[in-house]
Structure 1
């Protein structure tokens, strides 16, 4: 396995300065935002696709520092019911796939998106209860008319480009759990897989180790984010897991994102890393920092320190004792 980082953390730094900082921390990989929610401060697909010289220089800037690009990330909602919002998100995903092909990056990370509840809808609708039965009807319509058709088309483009799609399992989007990821993968094909982030499993009540086992046995983990979550034992009973309070309301929220090791102990993280190795995932563990109690530099540095303790780097080799 290699340790990497989602470099949008350092969007305020010039690209090469950010790479120098990342390499100095001993990391081996970077995940780079290309638009959508992460922005494109370091990587504008329009610029790189239009200029072969700039594309070459971009790739050289990464490789000259001993780094690889683990994924290009365009987290967005291409299924938003307002076409004015969906169209640019769809466009950046397609351009990111083309750019990944040119850069020989194997994975494009994004969200599945979430449609509305009918053709004339204005806002996304995320059904999370089977009753009243209206929600079942909405869910059926969304998947049959929007989710599966869209990803069948875009998945086909990615497959022809030699690129895998890593969908982040995230609340608020149609694909948010192991079962919904596998449902879409069954409909579209193996080009669809997870960008698995334990933090989003914990707040939904899903054990990340079991999520790794479920998805890993299906060969459905394309990329992995390292981010933690803490659950407040009092507030969770007040607000439930679907707490709608702003992330800034940290004292009152049911749960909040933390840097690695500050939501769950290192034995838990060692179990996650071991589960990844067990199911054959030996790719990049990409740090994502969204900890409201720590600066970017401190949260990132502590995540690096903690993960260095449990990351399994070397090839397995033979079991000499067998």
Structure 2
């Protein structure tokens, strides 16, 4: 197992600089963000331009990672593959394919994305829609030796009432998506606030988890007594303002990291555990984000065998 992080937390820092910093801090891998550089969302990062990516760019990227002794663990483009706007849905699918093409050139095993959701449809109706939309992407990736991995993020901010906006949030739904040939990019933080034990949920599915993310969550049961499980209704400052929980870097929340890492080892996981930094306390400046990544490293590195 190797310890890495997702580059999306440093959207304005060039990949070469991130790689140099990661090596200096002891990280072993990077999960590289490959959103299009549209600037439409705050957390978008485009550290590789997969829309214009050929052998030259692949060789340069490979040389960069070799120079710093790093593994490129996955390409990250987490978007709504069931977007209600058909034109936007087609754009997203096309970019997933471009990420797959880049991964194949780089020899990277996985591309990460979301299933997503059409918010005007029920979960069952969305499953029927996904049964039509996603198999062509799985086939396209498989022909190029790449797996598509789905993060189990709830993406409640994509739904007007804070309900799940990504229908991959529970083991019940993982089993359905596995039947389509998709894999899981396991993230324990989302399970925690849903009331699902992250370690218990992890154990049966390790053969379907080629890549994992490390993000923590901090719960506030007293605030839940005011807002309920689904979070704030009338007082949200932004779509992700649930009010009774928030994401943290590993070590600053309530996830049992010793249990998670032990279960990964017990199940034979040999991939990358990639820190996904979305901690509001350690955000706002490049320096604070890097301090948050240092905290995550200090928490997780002692649990991972050298």
Note the alpha carbon deviations across 1:223-281, whole angstroms, 9 max, x for none: 1111100100201122233224346997x81100011011127xx21111000111121
Deviation, structure 1 residue 11 = 2.1
Q: In structure 1, the residue corresponding to 2:210 is in which secondary structure?
A: strand
Q: Are 1:304 and 2:297 matched, yes or no?
A: yes
How many residues end up aligned between the 2 structures?
283
Instruction: Provide the rounded CA distance (Å) in 1 between the counterparts of 2:113 and 2:93.
Output: 11
Instruction: Provide the rounded CA distance (Å) in 2 between the counterparts of 1:157 and 1:196.
Output: 23
TM-score (norm 2): 0.87
Instruction: Provide the rounded CA distance (Å) in 2 between the counterparts of 1:253 and 1:227.
Output: 18
Q: Are 1:258 and 2:248 matched, yes or no?
A: yes
RMSD of equivalent CA atoms: 1.9
Pick the aligned partner of 1:196 from 175, 186, 209.
186
Instruction: Provide the rounded CA distance (Å) in 2 between the counterparts of 1:206 and 1:27.
Output: 29
Matched with 2:53 is 48
Greater radius of gyration (CA) = 1
Deviation, structure 1 residue 22 = 0.7
C-alpha contact (below 8 Å) 1:224/1:284 kept by paired residues: yes
Pick the aligned partner of 1:59 from 53, 59, 62.
62
Q: In structure 1, the residue corresponding to 2:84 is in which secondary structure?
A: coil
Instruction: Provide the rounded CA distance (Å) in 2 between the counterparts of 1:112 and 1:214.
Output: 21
C-alpha contact (below 8 Å) 1:201/1:207 kept by paired residues: yes
C-alpha contact (below 8 Å) 1:270/1:311 kept by paired residues: no
Q: Are 1:39 and 2:29 matched, yes or no?
A: no
Q: In structure 2, the residue corresponding to 1:113 is in which secondary structure?
A: coil
Matched with 1:24 is 24
Alpha carbons of structure 1 residues 247 and 207: separation in structure 2 relative to 1, 3 Å: farther
Alpha carbons of structure 1 residues 246 and 223: separation in structure 2 relative to 1, 3 Å: farther
Alpha carbons of structure 1 residues 21 and 40: separation in structure 2 relative to 1, 3 Å: same
Instruction: Provide the rounded CA distance (Å) in 1 between the counterparts of 2:18 and 2:248.
Output: 22
Is there any run of 5+ residues in structure 1 with no aligned partner, and where?
118-124, 126-137, 314-322
TM-score (norm 1): 0.83
Instruction: Provide the rounded CA distance (Å) in 1 between the counterparts of 2:211 and 2:264.
Output: 11
Note the alpha carbon deviations across 1:34-55, whole angstroms, 9 max, x for none: 1166534310102223xx2222
C-alpha contact (below 8 Å) 1:248/1:292 kept by paired residues: no
Q: Are 1:98 and 2:98 matched, yes or no?
A: no
Which stretches of structure 1, 4 residues or more, deviate above 6 A after TM superposition? 247-250
C-alpha contact (below 8 Å) 2:93/2:137 kept by paired residues: no
C-alpha contact (below 8 Å) 1:3/1:284 kept by paired residues: yes
Matched with 1:152 is 135
C-alpha contact (below 8 Å) 1:75/1:111 kept by paired residues: yes
Instruction: Provide the rounded CA distance (Å) in 1 between the counterparts of 2:225 and 2:239.
Output: 19
Note the alpha carbon deviations across 1:158-203, whole angstroms, 9 max, x for none: 11111111100121212111210111212x13xx111111111111
- Once the two structures are overlaid, the 10-residue window that deviates more, 285-294 or 6-15, is 6-15
Instruction: Provide the rounded CA distance (Å) in 2 between the counterparts of 1:246 and 1:161.
Output: 43
